[in-house]
Amino acid sequence: MSGERKFILGVLGSGRGSNFVAVAEACRAGAVPAEVGLVLSDVAEAGILEQARRRGIQAQFIPPGKFRTRLDEEAEQAYLAALRAARVDLIVLAGFMRVLKPPFLDAFAGRIINIHPSLLPSFPGLEAWKQALAHGVKVTGCTVHWVDAGVDSGPIIGQQAVPVLDEDTPETLHQRIQEAEHALYPRCVGAIARGEIRLQGRRVFGGPPGVIRGA
Protein backbone atom coordinates (compact mmCIF):
# COMPACT_ATOMS: atom_id res chain seq x y z
CA MET A 1 0.00 0.00 0.00
CA SER A 2 1.30 3.47 -0.77
CA GLY A 3 0.87 6.13 1.88
CA GLU A 4 -1.26 8.17 -0.51
CA ARG A 5 -4.40 9.68 0.91
CA LYS A 6 -7.60 8.08 -0.32
CA PHE A 7 -10.04 10.02 -2.47
CA ILE A 8 -12.96 10.69 -0.13
CA LEU A 9 -16.61 10.76 -1.20
CA GLY A 10 -19.41 12.51 0.64
CA VAL A 11 -22.78 11.13 -0.40
CA LEU A 12 -26.03 13.10 0.02
CA GLY A 13 -29.37 11.32 -0.37
CA SER A 14 -32.98 11.48 0.71
CA GLY A 15 -34.22 8.03 -0.28
CA ARG A 16 -33.50 4.35 -0.16
CA GLY A 17 -29.87 4.69 -1.22
CA SER A 18 -29.49 2.10 -3.97
CA ASN A 19 -27.04 4.31 -5.86
CA PHE A 20 -25.04 4.88 -2.70
CA VAL A 21 -24.88 1.10 -2.25
CA ALA A 22 -23.64 0.64 -5.84
CA VAL A 23 -20.89 3.23 -5.34
CA ALA A 24 -19.90 2.02 -1.86
CA GLU A 25 -19.70 -1.60 -3.02
CA ALA A 26 -17.58 -0.61 -6.02
CA CYS A 27 -15.22 1.21 -3.66
CA ARG A 28 -15.04 -1.77 -1.37
CA ALA A 29 -14.37 -4.13 -4.27
CA GLY A 30 -11.51 -1.90 -5.42
CA ALA A 31 -13.18 -1.02 -8.74
CA VAL A 32 -13.36 2.62 -7.64
CA PRO A 33 -10.21 4.00 -5.96
CA ALA A 34 -12.11 5.97 -3.34
CA GLU A 35 -13.94 5.52 -0.07
CA VAL A 36 -17.20 6.90 1.19
CA GLY A 37 -16.27 9.01 4.21
CA LEU A 38 -19.69 10.32 5.06
CA VAL A 39 -23.37 10.01 4.16
CA LEU A 40 -25.74 12.89 4.91
CA SER A 41 -29.50 13.00 4.59
CA ASP A 42 -32.25 15.56 5.01
CA VAL A 43 -34.68 12.75 5.91
CA ALA A 44 -34.20 11.19 9.35
CA GLU A 45 -35.61 7.80 8.38
CA ALA A 46 -34.05 7.59 4.89
CA GLY A 47 -32.89 4.12 3.89
CA ILE A 48 -29.58 5.55 2.73
CA LEU A 49 -28.58 6.28 6.35
CA GLU A 50 -29.37 2.73 7.39
CA GLN A 51 -27.45 1.34 4.39
CA ALA A 52 -24.43 3.43 5.36
CA ARG A 53 -24.50 2.45 9.05
CA ARG A 54 -24.78 -1.19 8.10
CA ARG A 55 -21.49 -0.76 6.22
CA GLY A 56 -19.78 1.04 9.08
CA ILE A 57 -19.85 4.35 7.21
CA GLN A 58 -20.50 7.55 9.16
CA ALA A 59 -24.09 8.62 8.50
CA GLN A 60 -25.89 11.68 9.75
CA PHE A 61 -29.33 13.24 9.45
CA ILE A 62 -29.04 17.02 9.25
CA PRO A 63 -32.41 18.84 9.32
CA PRO A 64 -32.87 20.89 6.16
CA GLY A 65 -34.47 23.87 7.86
CA LYS A 66 -37.49 25.92 6.96
CA PHE A 67 -37.69 25.53 3.16
CA ARG A 68 -39.30 22.69 1.23
CA THR A 69 -37.03 22.38 -1.81
CA ARG A 70 -33.67 23.66 -0.60
CA LEU A 71 -31.52 23.92 2.53
CA ASP A 72 -31.84 27.04 4.64
CA GLU A 73 -28.67 28.99 5.51
CA GLU A 74 -28.09 27.31 8.83
CA ALA A 75 -28.55 23.86 7.34
CA GLU A 76 -26.24 24.72 4.46
CA GLN A 77 -23.50 25.62 6.93
CA ALA A 78 -24.08 22.43 8.91
CA TYR A 79 -23.81 20.29 5.74
CA LEU A 80 -20.65 22.11 4.66
CA ALA A 81 -19.05 21.76 8.10
CA ALA A 82 -19.70 18.01 8.15
CA LEU A 83 -18.33 17.56 4.61
CA ARG A 84 -15.21 19.59 5.38
CA ALA A 85 -14.63 17.74 8.66
CA ALA A 86 -14.70 14.46 6.72
CA ARG A 87 -12.22 15.97 4.22
CA VAL A 88 -14.50 15.16 1.31
CA ASP A 89 -12.98 15.47 -2.18
CA LEU A 90 -16.16 14.87 -4.16
CA ILE A 91 -19.83 15.28 -3.25
CA VAL A 92 -21.95 12.56 -4.80
CA LEU A 93 -25.65 13.37 -4.91
CA ALA A 94 -27.66 10.16 -4.86
CA GLY A 95 -31.33 11.01 -4.77
CA PHE A 96 -30.89 14.18 -2.70
CA MET A 97 -34.23 15.93 -3.10
CA ARG A 98 -33.09 19.51 -2.49
CA VAL A 99 -31.59 21.99 -4.91
CA LEU A 100 -28.15 23.22 -3.85
CA LYS A 101 -27.67 26.97 -4.06
CA PRO A 102 -24.61 29.08 -4.97
CA PRO A 103 -23.10 29.48 -1.48
CA PHE A 104 -22.97 25.71 -1.20
CA LEU A 105 -21.96 25.18 -4.84
CA ASP A 106 -19.14 27.72 -4.51
CA ALA A 107 -17.75 25.98 -1.45
CA PHE A 108 -17.30 22.77 -3.49
CA ALA A 109 -16.96 24.31 -6.94
CA GLY A 110 -16.44 21.66 -9.63
CA ARG A 111 -16.61 18.91 -7.02
CA ILE A 112 -20.30 17.98 -6.97
CA ILE A 113 -21.94 15.39 -9.21
CA ASN A 114 -25.49 14.09 -9.56
CA ILE A 115 -27.28 11.20 -11.21
CA HIS A 116 -30.56 11.85 -13.00
CA PRO A 117 -33.00 9.23 -14.33
CA SER A 118 -33.24 10.42 -17.96
CA LEU A 119 -31.01 11.16 -20.91
CA LEU A 120 -30.49 14.85 -20.23
CA PRO A 121 -31.26 17.43 -21.48
CA SER A 122 -34.57 15.58 -21.94
CA PHE A 123 -36.80 15.45 -18.89
CA PRO A 124 -35.02 17.39 -16.14
CA GLY A 125 -36.80 17.73 -12.81
CA LEU A 126 -38.97 15.32 -10.89
CA GLU A 127 -40.03 11.78 -11.86
CA ALA A 128 -38.20 11.83 -15.18
CA TRP A 129 -39.26 8.27 -15.98
CA LYS A 130 -42.92 9.34 -15.82
CA GLN A 131 -42.13 12.31 -18.06
CA ALA A 132 -40.49 9.91 -20.55
CA LEU A 133 -43.53 7.60 -20.57
CA ALA A 134 -45.96 10.51 -20.92
CA HIS A 135 -43.97 11.94 -23.82
CA GLY A 136 -43.84 8.58 -25.57
CA VAL A 137 -40.08 8.33 -26.15
CA LYS A 138 -38.75 4.89 -27.09
CA VAL A 139 -35.37 5.31 -25.46
CA THR A 140 -34.52 6.89 -22.13
CA GLY A 141 -31.84 6.23 -19.54
CA CYS A 142 -29.72 7.98 -16.96
CA THR A 143 -27.15 10.73 -16.84
CA VAL A 144 -24.31 11.57 -14.47
CA HIS A 145 -23.44 15.27 -14.58
CA TRP A 146 -21.58 18.01 -12.78
CA VAL A 147 -23.90 20.10 -10.65
CA ASP A 148 -24.28 23.76 -11.53
CA ALA A 149 -26.78 26.39 -10.39
CA GLY A 150 -29.52 25.12 -12.74
CA VAL A 151 -31.74 22.08 -12.37
CA ASP A 152 -30.06 18.99 -13.89
CA SER A 153 -28.22 21.28 -16.29
CA GLY A 154 -24.49 20.80 -15.66
CA PRO A 155 -21.93 19.25 -18.06
CA ILE A 156 -22.57 15.58 -18.78
CA ILE A 157 -20.00 13.04 -17.55
CA GLY A 158 -21.69 9.80 -18.62
CA GLN A 159 -24.96 8.44 -19.98
CA GLN A 160 -26.52 5.03 -20.32
CA ALA A 161 -29.60 4.35 -22.46
CA VAL A 162 -32.41 1.88 -21.82
CA PRO A 163 -35.39 1.00 -24.03
CA VAL A 164 -38.97 1.97 -23.21
CA LEU A 165 -41.15 -1.10 -23.78
CA ASP A 166 -44.84 -1.17 -24.75
CA GLU A 167 -45.72 -3.01 -21.56
CA ASP A 168 -43.81 -0.60 -19.28
CA THR A 169 -45.44 0.96 -16.26
CA PRO A 170 -43.75 3.82 -14.38
CA GLU A 171 -42.45 1.22 -11.94
CA THR A 172 -40.92 -1.16 -14.50
CA LEU A 173 -39.30 1.67 -16.43
CA HIS A 174 -37.91 3.24 -13.26
CA GLN A 175 -36.53 -0.14 -12.23
CA ARG A 176 -34.76 -0.58 -15.60
CA ILE A 177 -33.30 2.93 -15.37
CA GLN A 178 -32.10 2.31 -11.83
CA GLU A 179 -30.25 -0.84 -12.92
CA ALA A 180 -28.46 1.29 -15.50
CA GLU A 181 -27.71 3.91 -12.81
CA HIS A 182 -26.07 1.32 -10.59
CA ALA A 183 -23.66 0.46 -13.42
CA LEU A 184 -23.05 4.03 -14.58
CA TYR A 185 -22.51 5.90 -11.32
CA PRO A 186 -19.55 3.85 -10.05
CA ARG A 187 -17.89 4.09 -13.47
CA CYS A 188 -18.16 7.88 -13.47
CA VAL A 189 -17.00 8.22 -9.86
CA GLY A 190 -14.08 5.92 -10.67
CA ALA A 191 -13.04 8.03 -13.65
CA ILE A 192 -13.10 11.17 -11.49
CA ALA A 193 -11.19 9.54 -8.61
CA ARG A 194 -8.53 8.35 -11.06
CA GLY A 195 -8.17 11.91 -12.36
CA GLU A 196 -9.24 10.92 -15.87
CA ILE A 197 -11.86 13.62 -16.38
CA ARG A 198 -11.22 16.88 -18.19
CA LEU A 199 -13.77 19.63 -18.75
CA GLN A 200 -13.71 21.89 -21.79
CA GLY A 201 -16.69 24.20 -22.03
CA ARG A 202 -19.70 21.93 -21.66
CA ARG A 203 -17.83 18.88 -22.93
CA VAL A 204 -16.44 16.36 -20.48
CA PHE A 205 -13.61 14.16 -21.73
CA GLY A 206 -12.30 10.96 -20.18
CA GLY A 207 -15.59 9.65 -18.78
CA PRO A 208 -17.09 6.26 -19.63
CA PRO A 209 -18.28 5.99 -23.23
CA GLY A 210 -22.04 6.35 -23.67
CA VAL A 211 -23.69 2.98 -23.19
CA ILE A 212 -26.59 1.79 -25.31
CA ARG A 213 -28.21 -1.31 -23.91
CA GLY A 214 -30.37 -3.66 -25.96
CA ALA A 215 -33.94 -4.62 -25.00
Among 52, 92, 115, 157, binds ligand GRF (CB under 6 A): 115
Is residue 124 within the footprint of ligand GRF (CB under 6 A)? no
How crowded is residue 31: how many other Cβ atoms within 10 Å of its Cβ? 14
Is residue 141 within the footprint of ligand GRF (CB under 6 A)? no
Residue 3 beta carbon to ligand GRF: minimum distance, rounded to whole angstroms? 33
Residue 94 beta carbon to ligand GRF: minimum distance, rounded to whole angstroms? 5
Number of residues counted as binding ligand GRF (CB under 6 A): 14
Residue 181 beta carbon to ligand GRF: minimum distance, rounded to whole angstroms? 5
Per-residue binder mask for ligand GRF (CB under 6 A), 19-38, x = binder: x-------------------
Residue 67 beta carbon to ligand GRF: minimum distance, rounded to whole angstroms? 19
Residues 159-188 that bind ligand GRF (CB under 6 A): 178, 181
Instruction: Examine the residue annotation and report whether 135 is marked as an active-site residue of this protein.
Output: no
**Which residue's beta carbon is nearest to the bound ligand GRF?**
95
- The residues carrying an active-site annotation are 116
Interaction site with ligand GRF (CB under 6 A): 13, 15-19, 48, 94-95, 115-117, 178, 181
